[in-house]
Amino acid sequence: MKTDTHHKLAPLTIALHWIIGVSILAMLAVGVYMHELPKSPLKDTLYFLHKSSGLLLFFLILARIAWRGKNGLLKPAAPHKDWEVRLAKYTHISLLTLSLLMPISGMIMSLSFGSTLPLFGLLEIGPVGKYPPLAWTALYTHQIGAFAFLALIVLHAGAALKHHFADKDYTLKRMLGAEIPRR
């Protein structure tokens, strides 16, 4: 299977980045929206879909982290300043950590509030009982994690756009599948 090189990223890296990235943005938007809704069948449906997709996403995220473990963290596509390289590295690590923390806190929250973990009606895990202190800790982790995630994604996407439009380098193009020309 193709792995990442400096000049070209593996198709799996690109697929996992965009599938998980778009899904996480959707999870954040649906999460905030469903939380604000009054009790209704729509709210129940959105909770069911949020939990089911979150569970599925959890396995994709594990695959992505294993893939990063095999490939190592991305090396810069162009010569960047030292602080930019360090900031990008810690942002990527934080994004991967939050990608894990969100589904894990979501699962712990749902189970310990006495609810279940559905997977689109294919299977359902729980209920396993109620543990309120654990449930509330997981809920606050999920909520604070969501804000931290949003802030990091704005920083991350902003940096990608800055590299593309201001520096005119290959950072974004490489993540879209382009090969950096060898000169």
Residues that bind ligand HEM (CB under 6 A): 13, 17, 20-21, 24-25, 27-28, 31-32, 35, 47, 50-51, 54-55, 57, 68, 74, 76-77, 88, 92, 95-96, 99, 102-103, 106-107, 109-110, 117, 139, 142-143, 146, 153, 156-157, 160, 171-172, 174-175
d(CA 2, CA 134): 42
> Smallest distance from the beta carbon of 72 to ligand HEM, in angstroms?
10
d(CA 139, CA 15): 30
Q: What are φ and ψ of residue 78, in 5° steps? A: -145, 165
> Smallest distance from the beta carbon of 158 to ligand HEM, in angstroms?
9
151 versus 157: smaller Cβ distance to ligand HEM: 157
> Smallest distance from the beta carbon of 183 to ligand HEM, in angstroms?
19
DSSP characters over 117-146:
EESTTS-EE----B-HHHHHHHHHHHHHHH
The enclosing H or E element of 18 equals: helix 11-36
> Smallest distance from the beta carbon of 133 to ligand HEM, in angstroms?
16
